[in-house]
Amino acid sequence: MIRVRFAPSPTGMFHVGGARSALFNWALAERYGGQFVLRIEDTDAARNRPEWTEGIISALAWIGIHGENPVFEGPYFQSAYEPQHREAVAKLLADGKAYHCDCTREQLEARTGSEHRGYDGHCRDRGLTSGAVRFRTPDEGVTVVDDVIRGRVEFPNDAQEDFVIARTDGSPLYVLANAVDDITQSITHVIRGEEHLSNAARQQLLWPALGATPPVWAHLPVIVNEQRKKLSKRRDKVALESYRDEGYLAEAMVNYLMLLGWGPGDDREIMPWPEMAPLFRLEDVNSASAFFDEKKLRAFNGEYIRALPLAEFIARCDPFLDPSWDRQVFAEIAPLVQTRISVLSEVSANVDFLYLPEPVFDQASWDKGMKNAPREILSGYLARLETVSFDPESLKTALEEVGAEHGLKLSKAQAPIRVALTGRTVGLPLFESIHALGPARTQA
């Protein structure tokens, strides 16, 4: 059985790159009837906060990865496996595949004459019984990582230093703990970001040293921004939670993230998960960097919003509306809103004029909308509203007539009316909005 694992570290936010990795793992497990193992890398005490772990679980659940599906297993916590980590270190020491080292960085630099040189193996044969523990790497040949996405990747052994697997106090480092956890949990495939390829050689050495067959490796392409730089939380909008809170739909986000480095093999892009997952193959993942295009994601989201049944759209909008607003009033105008927004957070600005005592005031909108005979248009239309039938078509005809009296086409005549009623120069269809607002409030 295929067993994949997703092993995030709590960081206070869930990176979209991590979400992409989780989805690729999930797709593989689901397609082949395997298991998706969630393991929280919680050994860093500074990051070991319960709320951050809950944030990971919540973010995964939002994109459809949760324990209600039999494919899901966990969450497990790396800290729970520390006894196995220490046993592995003891085994490697006993087998002569690791050794203690008490060298400091200053001593190494003094011996090699360079701050950039790797460890020189000084303690290999000193027979120390304390200090940090280093893994003894082969002196000759190459370590080969057969990567499903990148092919055969060779690491010359003479360029690999004897790397540390445990600290002086015996606590394991990530590279050792990760290998031991994967072996303990019978992981068959390791699918993760390209940035981890550099430590794959070390794990490729550790697995057989611990008596296990290395897993299938697959290192996913890096995700970049529009400057083709790797997405960074310091520079880019990368938190999955921020997109959720802004009103992106989970199904749109899943669809878009799945296309960052992979495609279903035809020209389709908008494709729900039940159609995508059965088509997913690691062999089809591209090794080239993947561009995270927020504009394209936004367009995807708009497509998914417009495809929602009206009742479901109304329900999903509810958290983005003021609790005091009459939901029946919103339900009447919701069909117009659904065709015009790209994210659910845009709903409020489109309908707030129906509820606020006064329209919002925006200086830029006022300056733009009140250019062409605004006083004459407003007063003329106000007079027409005394007698006009309040259906959208009659309201439109009345404004066309007022505009014609002042040499203005409807597009120009609408501007001051829209700003006077909504405070903005863009929004829902004007005459349907006036109809929803009603005669008394419109005149006011």
Read off the pLDDT of residues 47-83 as tens digits, 9 standing for 90 and up. 678 888 999 999 999 999 999 999 999 999 999 999 9
For residue 162, count other CB atoms closer than 10 A to its CB. 20
Indicate where the chain has its CATH 3.90.800.10 domain(s). 84-166
What secondary structure, in 3-state letters, does 144-200 show?
Answer: EEEECCCEEEEEEHHHCCCCEEECCCCCECHHHHHHHHHHHCCCCEEEEEHHHHHHH
CA atoms within a 13 Å half-sphere pointing along the CA-CB vector of 48 = 9
pLDDT greater than 90 at residue 359: no
pLDDT greater than 90 at residue 11: no
- Give me the pLDDT at residue 415, please: 95
User: CATH fold of 84-166, please?
Assistant: Glutamyl-tRNA Synthetase; domain 3 (3.90.800)
The tokens for 309 are 């049944």
Give, in words, the CATH class of 357-443: mainly alpha
Alpha-carbon distances of 255 from 32, 64, 228, 333, 372, rounded to whole Å: 20, 12, 22, 29, 45
Q: Which residues of 251-264 are buried (b: 16+ CB within 10 A; e: fewer)?
A: bbbbbbbbbbbbbb
Which range has the worst mean pLDDT, 42-51, 65-74, 173-182, 275-284?
42-51
Compute the average pLDDT of residues 144-161.
95
pLDDT greater than 90 at residue 12: no
H helices of 282-409, where? 294-307, 310-317, 327-338, 347-351, 363-369, 374-384, 392-405
> Which residue numbers are catalytic?
233
> Of 75, 87, 104, which is closest to residue 10 (Cα–Cα)?
75
pLDDT greater than 80 at residue 190: yes
Burial class (CB in 10 A: 0-12, 13-18, 19+), 342: buried
Give the contacts of 5 (CB within 8 A, at least 6 positions apart).
25, 36, 37, 38, 39, 181, 182, 185, 187, 190
Which range has the worst mean pLDDT, 69-78, 145-154, 224-233, 311-320?
224-233
CA distance 286 to 220: 8
- Mapping DSSP to helix (H, G, I), strand (E, B) and coil, where does residue 20 land? helix
Indicate where the chain has its CATH 1.10.10.350 domain(s). 357-443
Residue 20: phi and psi, rounded to 5, are -60, -45
Q: CA gyration radius for the chain?
A: 30
Which range has the worst mean pLDDT, 105-114, 134-143, 161-170, 320-329?
105-114
CA distance 226 to 236: 10
- Give me the pLDDT at residue 138, please: 95
What does pLDDT average to over the chain? 94
Give the contacts of 363 (CB within 8 A, at least 6 positions apart).
none
pLDDT greater than 80 at residue 233: yes
CA distance 267 to 122: 58
CA distance 68 to 222: 30
> Could you read off the pLDDT of 284-313 as tens digits, one per residue?
999 999 999 999 999 999 999 999 999 999
CA distance 95 to 87: 12
Is residue 263 within 8 Å of 275, Cβ to Cβ? no
Compute the average pLDDT of residues 166-170.
94
> Of 60, 4, 57, which is closest to residue 28 (Cα–Cα)?
4
* H/E segment holding residue 277: none
DSSP letter (8 states) at residue 230:
B
pLDDT greater than 90 at residue 117: no
Instruction: Name the CA dihedral angle for 420, 425, 429, 432, rounded to a multiple of 10 degrees.
Output: -10
Q: How confident is the model at residue 420 (pLDDT cuts 50, 70, 90)?
A: very high
Task: Provide the sign of the torsion angle of the four alpha carbons 226, 231, 236, 238, taken in this order.
Answer: positive
Q: How confident is the model at residue 434 (pLDDT cuts 50, 70, 90)?
A: very high
- Give me the pLDDT at residue 44, please: 72
> Of 64, 24, 96, 88, which is closest to residue 290 (Cα–Cα)?
24
pLDDT greater than 80 at residue 150: yes
What pTM, to 2 d.p., does this model score? 0.92
CA distance 78 to 181: 7
pLDDT greater than 70 at residue 45: no
> Of 2, 5, 26, 6, which is closest to residue 262 (Cα–Cα)?
26
CA distance 414 to 348: 22
Compute the average pLDDT of residues 399-414.
95
